[in-house]
Structure 1
Amino acid sequence: MTTRTLAVISAGLSQPSSTRMLADKLAAATVATLAERGIETEVLSVELRDIATDIMNNMLTGFPSPKLDTVIESVTGADGLIAVTPIFTSSYSGLFKTFFDVIDNRSLTDMPVLIGATAGTARHSLALDYALRPMFTYLHAVVVPTAVFAASEDWGSGGASLKTLPERIHRAAGELSALMVHSDRSHLVPDPFVLDASFSPAGSFAAT
């Protein structure tokens, strides 16, 4: 079987976390949809709370720890990405944003991305389109049309939301899977040891 790698980022702070729960459901639906297409999926799940100190130290020093460096390489080298954040003060969490601040802003070029978010009420659902989607567009990722938001009521008992959430998850997973089938990003991952084309040792000595 053809194999694809799926990175799953969740920025929930609590345990258990509804953010992680949504991320897992999106990942499971994507894996199932890819399997229907004859594609096996390797899933890398990352809870940012586990590397929060490493992320902040990288922001302050400019250098990732070995643990964070491994996570960044795995995420940026994947064939697809699911990114889910809790909504705080009408936008993504600081931890979520800081993680994407410390990675190279070219490393997600052409990456198929499914975005998701959780919050207490559905009033925060628009944050997906005015905060998350523009951020990934800036990073030159390819964001699937369907974003998935889950409010507290979506995890409760009864109500129409219990039917619509699985529908949104299934639709978004199908869109991500369709992009991952043709994903080939190996040539886009920047090599840190490759010199910029403008670098000229001879020219630098000639100026002295």
Structure 2
Amino acid sequence: MTTPEIPDTLGAPGATGTRRTLAVVSAGLSQPSSTRLLADRLADATVRELEDLGHEVRVETVELRDVAHAVVDAMLTRFPTGDLARALEDVTGADGLIAVSPVFTTSYSGLFKSFWDVVDPDALTGMPVLLGATGGTARHSLALEYAMRPLFTYLRADVVPTSVFAATDDWAASADDQGAGLPRRIARAGRELARRVSVRENDGPADPFAATPSFTELLGGN
């Protein structure tokens, strides 16, 4: 987990921006991991958009492989401890969430599901969430819509319209090429999440129409 220092003056009266915390959950099992790479790219895109909107951003990254044994223990005892307890606090206390899983046998990984099984079922209510997944081929891309999105809908999260799947071949596109393929989808998804995180109010409901996408966005434009 990474916790950059942020000045206490942020969020004070007269400050030009407000503080936002972004939680990133990666369920990759290997090191290096394409799942973590996608999670980092999505986080970078969201942070850029939030900073353009005038916010200071803190990113908390949770690698599930590091707390895998604690997740199993918590499922048995119902009492998360240590690094897992801190990870749960980071995730449930964030202003927005990026959740990325590898796809195994047409669905998210067991570790990914087990982590959300130990999260309080009411903790993600109304939280803006961006979903991502990785797999060997594009055949697995629909797992985002028939498996991952229903999971977070059940948890009453506010899932952004664009989810991002990265197959092995998608990484061949240049990271600087924002006009095509995976980089374009990442940029669009980050923009959608940033807009919802920006208007979210922790002390009350946000304007329900503030994050409504424009007709241009709905038609696939920038």
Match of 1:205 in 2: none
Match of 2:97 in 1: 81
- Offset at 1:67? 1.8
1:77/1:185 contact within 8 Å kept:
no
Unaligned runs of 5+ in 1: 189-208
- Offset at 1:185? 3.1
Q: SS of the residue aligned with 1:109?
A: coil
Which structure 2 residues correspond to residues 14-33 of structure 1 after superposition, within 5 A? Answer: 14-33=30-49
- Runs of 4+, deviation exceeding 2 Å: 184-188
Match of 1:167 in 2: 184
Which structure 2 residues correspond to residues 37-186 of structure 1 after superposition, within 5 A? Answer: 37-156=53-172, 163-185=180-202
2:173/2:181 contact within 8 Å kept:
no
1:79/1:183 contact within 8 Å kept:
yes
Could you say which structure has the higher helix fraction?
1
Q: SS of the residue aligned with 1:15?
A: coil
Q: Distance in 2 between matches of 1:47 and 1:66?
A: 14
- Offset at 1:66? 2.4
Cα deviations by residue, 1:54-101 (Å, 9 ceiling, x for unpaired): 001001111111221111011001000000000000000000000000
Percentage identity across aligned positions? 60
2:100/2:131 contact within 8 Å kept:
yes
Q: Distance in 2 between matches of 1:92 and 1:20?
A: 14
Kindly tell me: are residues 148 and 157 of structure 1, through their superposed partners in 2, closer, same or farther at Cα, counting changes over 3 Å? closer
Q: Distance in 2 between matches of 1:146 and 1:33?
A: 15
2:171/2:182 contact within 8 Å kept:
no
- Offset at 1:186? 5.3
1:77/1:186 contact within 8 Å kept:
no
Unaligned runs of 5+ in 2: 1-16, 206-222
- Offset at 1:156? 2.8
Q: Report the number of matched residues.
A: 187
Cα deviations by residue, 1:110-153 (Å, 9 ceiling, x for unpaired): 00000000000000000000000000000000000000000000
- Offset at 1:183? 1.5
Kindly tell me: are residues 187 and 60 of structure 1, through their superposed partners in 2, closer, same or farther at Cα, counting changes over 3 Å? farther
Aligned-residue RMSD, C-alpha: 1.9
- Offset at 1:184? 2.4
Q: Distance in 2 between matches of 1:41 and 1:147?
A: 21
1:11/1:20 contact within 8 Å kept:
yes
State which structure, 1 or 2, has the greater radius of gyration over its C-alpha atoms. 1
